[in-house]
Structure 1
Amino acid sequence: MNAPLELMAFAGVLALGQFSPGPDMLLLTRTALKEGARSGVLMASGIATGLTFHAALAITGMAVVFERSAWLREGMHWLAAVYLAWLAYQMLREWFVHVYSGARYEEVKPSSKKGAFVQGLLCNLFNPKVVVFLAAVVTPFLAGERPGWWPWALWAIVVIEGLTLWALWALVLQAGPVKEAYRRAGPWIMLAFGVAMIGLAVKIVVGVL
């Protein structure tokens, strides 16, 4: 297989993993629906910034060290579980307030640039499964003799594709029918996202214990 086809195959595998249900997708979807395109794109930028770190670890082989260091792995899992539980609390509290106040569920004022970006960054950085997934995907594409630029190309694909696809997803969610459906069922969508975040946090804790 020639280099362009290999890189395309690598990008395709990454896209499948990127849109599998996980903390990044849930948080970005919730933010883009509730706060609009600007906050969604900023959060996508934060997630992509986290990917710069995870991709570097995976490509340099540090993911193996991460997996073999029990204290580091468990510490990151606990951090991830606490952060997801905190996000779940925020979503469930918002659902409770809207349901029991009887207020109309509208799009809210976007978060600050720093807020949306940092939330996306922390959500990605505190997810230890990202570096493990990237290591599994990258390893076959690093086998054999490769030119010096090859690892950099893989790293760039991870980061650029992550930013591009997440930003496009945030923009797609701004479509009229999607936004109208969210206005009608917003609190219940928020409840579903909160419960999903709790489920992810519990899954991480169970994996540590």
Structure 2
Amino acid sequence: PYIVIGVVDDFHFESMHTPIKPLIIQMTTQDARNLIVRLDPTKHSEAISDIRVKWNNLFDGKSLNFSYVADNYNKLYNSEEGMSKGFMLLTVIAIFIACLGLVGLATHSTSQKTREIGVRKVMGANTLSLLFMLWWNFVRLVGISILIAWPIAFFLVKDWLNNFAYRVNISPWVFILSGVVGVLLALISVATITYSAARQNPAESLKWE
């Protein structure tokens, strides 16, 4: 029979993918394969050297394999780290392609509205009102795409979080902020083209009418 000499609080000894499991900590002097040593954070190198010396004195010829507990825990989340880097790369590529598409769309759209812009300027429209008119078309398209993307992103993130025993709640502010950033990126992408179109001399666009 074993005698219980103490009880410790629950703690994670596996990844956060699984809930905390029952654990018995037992001291034994037989078949010990691992030794945990607490090191001074400022003297890691010296401590490892001392451990190697003592190991070689006791077990000459046998190799010493060691690792840090923090590194072992980090390895439990290698898949999440790799997934994060992959999504980051794909996000940058997707944003770049989307911005190129917006620039092309802005060029095509403003070229078709050249005469309309000229007429509006002759009728007294200022540059700011013309910019709002041109920007509204892009904001509307980006807004529609964001509304389509929100529920898809929500269910994908929720499904991924279900892999963890402990998870955070999905805040609506994350989606709102991403939508605002998306609109701002769209406006920045087309700003130069739309500004040039709004500043164009109406005589240039109406001289053939």
TM-score of the superposition, structure 2-length normalised?
Answer: 0.30
Q: Decide which structure has the larger Cα Rg and report it.
A: 2
TM-score of the superposition, structure 1-length normalised?
Answer: 0.30
Higher relative contact order (CA 8 A, sep 6+): 1
The answer to which structure has the higher helix fraction is 1
